[in-house]
């Protein structure tokens, strides 16, 4: 049974990478796909990629009141629940459970690319990430990353911008 689950997860990861690659190619956006040792934390991912931790685009999915939202920030920062509650004018905010993440994206935590549009959820991005020239992020698998220019990410995803990290 575990083999079937692993095969299914690999197929979902591959599908997400293909969808994202198709979108980037259609928009003629330059990007690089890297394979590396599996990474399960932002620090591990930066080390495996050979890139600064701050260039990592950490994508978190949370339930704000009754709707899911994606929050993207530099990987060395943490989500500021106070700032998010103020920006969205909400009372309740919690991280999506592993089951909810899987149901929404078909992916495991730590594998989700910073494109809420891929999953039908709004994307909020911390302005500090926009100060970078390039970003690196997981692309559906713990061992696959994409690198691209921040300006291209911003143009393609058009996230809501704000101070959501601390």
Ordered by start, the domain boundaries in the chain are 2-162
Q: Name residue, tokens 């709707």.
A: 67
pLDDT of residue 119: 96
pTM of the model: 0.92
CATH code, 2-162: 3.90.960.10
Other beta carbons within 10 Å of 68? 18
Q: How far is CA 115 from the centre of its chain?
A: 6
Indicate if the pLDDT at residue 6 is higher than 60. no
pLDDT one-digit tens code per residue, 75-101: 999 999 999 999 989 989 999 999 999
CA 130 – CA 149 distance, rounded (Å): 10
CA 96 – CA 146 distance, rounded (Å): 23
Cβ-based neighbours of 162, under 8 Å, separated by 6 or more: 83, 87, 124, 125, 126, 127
DSSP state of 91: S
| Phi, psi for 86 (deg, rounded to 5) | -70, -45
């Amino acid at each position: 049974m575990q083999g079937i689950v692993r095969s299914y997860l690999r197929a979902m990861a591959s599908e997400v990478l293909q969808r994202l690659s198709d979108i980037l190619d259609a928009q003629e956006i330059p990007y690089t796909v890297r394979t590396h040792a599996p990474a399960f934390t932002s620090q591990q991912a930066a080390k495996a990629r050979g890139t600064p931790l701050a260039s990592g685009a950490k994508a978190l999915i949370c339930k704000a009141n009754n709707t899911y939202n994606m929050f993207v920030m530099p990987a060395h920062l943490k989500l500021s629940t106070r700032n998010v509650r103020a920006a969205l004018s909400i009372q309740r905010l919690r991280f999506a459970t592993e089951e909810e993440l899987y149901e929404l994206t078909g992916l495991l935590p730590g594998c989700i690319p910073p494109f809420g549009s891929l999953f039908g959820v709004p994307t909020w991005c911390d302005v500090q990430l926009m100060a970078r020239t390039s970003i690196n992020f997981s692309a559906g698998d713990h061992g696959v990353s994409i690198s691209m220019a921040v300006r291209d990410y911003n143009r393609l995803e058009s996230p809501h911008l704000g101070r959501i990290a601390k």
